[in-house]
Amino acid sequence: MKSWHRYAIALAGGLALGLGAAWWLTGGGLQGGQIVNGPWTTSLGYGTKATGAITRAAVARAGLLALPAKETVYWSAKTDAAGAPLDGNCRYSLSGKLLDARWWSVTIYDAAGYLVANDANIWSVNGANVATDDQGVWRVTIAPTRPIEGAWLPGIKDQSFHLTLRMYNPGPAFRADPEKASLPAIVKEGC
């Protein structure tokens, strides 16, 4: 074998290995953030130059056009309150008090990071479209079938999913201590 063939094979192998490693490193989405609050994780560095190259690449791969934390905080949850992976066959209660932000939303994504395909064309709930009870608590059911009453996010049968909570213009109390902020609870009610 000629020496240039060996160099070409080594170069192709190195490129394949490097690209494969980069794809694997950035494939975790937004999990593993520096801040953990129950099942929710985030990093206040998303959308800033202070974030490392791998995190910036993971954010770009996730399709998130991240704004800095003073404008938007992005939380991700792949598990329920008990730490079990979110399962599209199960029914969950997503509930909490109104968040310390000008506007907020919770969006459901499939395991690949795409909006969940559903006939109802519902992918998100937000502070403007959920009703609160007498104690100021809102509740949304996440399930593959629509509940009889209340707000609903369709789950996807036979697939895991994850949730993204976006808090736009978070308040000063939240920014002071995001680890202790009151975030929505994700409780499995049954499968």
Picking from 17-31, 106-120, 140-154, 158-172, which range would have the lowest pLDDT averaged per residue? 17-31
What gap in Å lies between CA 94 and CA 124, rounded to an integer? 12
The overall average pLDDT reported for the chain is: 81
Task: Please compute the mean of the pLDDT values over residues 78-107 and round it to a whole number.
Answer: 94
For residue 3, CA distances in Å to 8, 13, 115, 132, 167 come to 9, 15, 50, 72, 57
pLDDT higher for 53 or 113? 113
Residue 32: which pLDDT band, with cuts at 50, 70 and 90? very low
Residue 31: which pLDDT band, with cuts at 50, 70 and 90? very low
Q: What is the CA radius of gyration of the chain?
A: 20
Q: Are the C-beta atoms of residues 31 and 41 closer than 8 Å to each other?
A: yes
What gap in Å lies between CA 77 and CA 166, rounded to an integer? 12
Confidence (pLDDT) at 69: 57
Task: State the Cα angle at 117 between 96 and 56, rounded to 5°.
Answer: 70
Entry pTM: 0.75
